[in-house]
Structure 1
């Protein structure tokens, strides 16, 4: 038997499999990469040696309205490491400067004070020179129109970002299941945009495009919109990090919005790219907390399994989902319509300007449901899982037994993906 530990919430689940059943284990090399410097040193080095940009301490000179876009509670960005180093740079160039941190909630729920403290630390949350504002994509009083995206959608952005005399951002770079990679331009779109803008960018046409996949940027229509938006509001400087399985910084890139991001993406592509190992059963996760806090986010990890599971096979998703489904409209799509094909047909017939909230996640989940049986090992309510057309298991062993019964044999090969959001699964040779 081989023991494999799978991240699950704040803990790990133990998966024990007979060696002969394991087709392969797909892991990012980021989990093996060992940085030669501490997390803070890596961030500091990046800030001191920015890519195609002046140093931040030079950019802040004379600036009175500095805004930092920071990721929200759904992202494992180590802001406790990044923010102190950014503040040192700001204070070195402009000792009297104050900083507004705009929390990029995108289409997510608002971040709470307790979550801010968990993310930034109480000392930084109560810092006298830092003000925190949580972006609300539905509050029109806080938003302003900027222009039309290449796709034709309206770009409407938080006023704080648009009115800043210096706009910067922090974030992390990982494979993203339809934007190619996280980080960089995503801080603006969807991070601090209106619901209208997010819906236009996340339309069914873009989601259905085969280039809207993990690791893809050059021909990705969603990325094109996102980059245009970030340039339109003059996102002038970014600090993005790469993380290992323990959410520790292993590399950092700072400087020019696109060039620094691309450099980080290139390294992530080296670390995260794996070859698919086709099998009838694929077991995956969402990398543990905070990314596995709901079903909505967990769809991301499922797409890694999609890239290696044989059509008609079984995806087993281990995700704590302690926050439930993560979106009422996302949940209702499946709870109110039993026919997956009807759901998909409706999505594909929906014009860009009429995109339904959370449609993108629903569309991707529906795509998976049309190709595979999905079994969830989760803390979410069993009925909720069944309402969303998936099967429920209390344990990994039970899930495998269910998969065996469904497939009609007990020796199907199994591909294991310990962290489904950390890998780019490329086609097998």
Structure 2
């Protein structure tokens, strides 16, 4: 037996796998987190891709800083103090700055979470606003994909908008970061739903690691341009959540530079697909709920044979994380989940598209009760041993197993 210690929430779970069955262990490619993260962030801000802050900001400018919410591991607590010092050096006073969390359709952040994301000092001295997609939205036009763009008026009221995020593999936008600070970050419900609903029409073009020709990403970038996203500070993190590189400047060009680094670390070539993939979402916050953890499940489908079985480790302390997805999961099959979502105008089952298309079974180890998963196509397991045994029972004693300890970020690339 080979023992793997997989991240699960804020802890780890030991998983024993028969050594002779192991086909691949898909880890991020080697990278080196910066020892001095402050210097790395300063370096990027002082050497931006295109215009500098000094060129676009005046002492009279009002500023909207747009950091990620609690579902993302972006170290905004490192980035924002440096940005504020730079803005202050230009002559912008703190009272001309507001922070709007890019919640999209996620819940509001608690005060403790805001402090975790920004640090107590920032929370106490800068006005912090939780974006609410149902309130204070202003229409500013349509994209070429006919998406009506409604944006948070607190953001639109500011002269300068600065997106703060980490760049990671994303299940349908290709990558996180960049324009996502605007759409879905601070967009209205109608805008987000219209954009995300394209998952059904363009499955092959709206998947992890695809930018060019991805209509959802194109739509996001058009919306960001309409909204006037001026500047971004985005980071690429290693598997220990340390900063590998920082990019700053133009929302499109800087983002693409960051994607190049993301690809070097997280795109991992494989020569053969397995019958079973044992995957961890990567721990908190990637497994804060099932809605987020399905991104790891989708990445796992790139390493598995049609009809195979995924064993997903995701704590999900907040349960399913979406009332809509919770309702849709009460189905007999993945195909039914997807069809109900499509018919009902819901993109909530986005992470289950590939498992439905490929006929994949899913065994889940989480804090979600076995009784609850029994009402869904998910196969619940009480512990790691039971989960592995169930997968082998389904696939047979001759089954091969691939292990993905950081499935929420790692994208297997397979060329026939």
Q: Report TM bin, short chain.
A: over 0.9
- Do the aligned partners of residues 299 and 169 (structure 1) sit closer, same or farther apart at CA in structure 2, a change above 3 Å counting? same
Displacement of 1:166 in angstroms is: 0.9
Given that residues 183 and 223 in structure 2 are in contact (C-alpha distance below 8 angstroms), is that contact kept between their aligned partners in structure 1? yes
Give the corresponding residue for 2:93.
96
Q: Alignment partner of 2:83: what SS?
A: helix
* Runs of 5+ unmatched residues, structure 1: none
Pick from 311, 323, 327: which aligns with 1:328? 323
The corresponding residue for 2:390 is 402
CA distance in 2, matches of 1:67, 1:159: 11
In the TM superposition, what is the alpha-carbon distance from 1:208 to its structure 2 partner? 4.0
> Which residue pairs with 1:179 in the alignment?
173
Matched, 1:17 2:12: no
Residue correspondences, number: 413
Instruction: State the match for 1:202 in structure 2.
Output: 196
Written as runs of structure 1 = structure 2, the 5 A alignment for 1:377-416 is 377-407=365-395, 409-416=396-403
1:77 aligns with 2:74: yes
2:33–2:237 Cα contact (<8 Å) kept: no
In 2: Cα distance, 1:312 partner to 1:232 partner: 43
Q: Tell me, what secondary structure is at the counterpart of 1:257?
A: coil
- Give the one of 409, 413, 416 matched to 1:422: 409
Residues 308/76 of structure 1: CA separation in 2 closer, same or farther (3 Å cut): same
TM-score (norm: length of structure 1):
0.92
Shift of 1:20: 1.4
Q: Equivalent residue of 2:286, what SS?
A: coil
C-alpha distance in 2, partners of 1:419/1:40?
Answer: 26
Cα separation, 1, equivalents of 2:360 and 2:214 = 25
CA RMSD of aligned residues (A): 1.7
| TM, length-normalised to structure 2 | 0.95
| C-alpha contact 1:343 1:366 (8 A) present in aligned 2 | no
Kept in 2: contact 1:206–1:222 (CA 8 A): no
Aligned pair partner of 2:64 in 56, 62, 67: 67
1:136 partnered with 2:123: no
Question: Cα 1:363–1:79, aligned 2, differ >3 Å: closer, same or farther?
Answer: closer
For the residue of structure 2 that corresponds to 1:321, the secondary structure is coil
Q: How far did 1:305 drift?
A: 1.2
In the alignment, the residues of structure 2 paired with residue 345 and residue 124 of structure 1 have an alpha-carbon distance, to the nearest angstrom, of 45
Choose which of 254, 261, 285 in structure 1 pairs with 2:280.
285
- Shift of residue 38 of structure 1? 1.3
Output one character per residue of 1:337-394: Cα deviation in whole Å (capped at 9) or x when no partner: 324434434445x4xxx732xx2x4143254145111000111222222223101112
1:146-295 equivalence runs, <5 A: 146-205=140-199, 208-276=202-270, 277-295=272-290
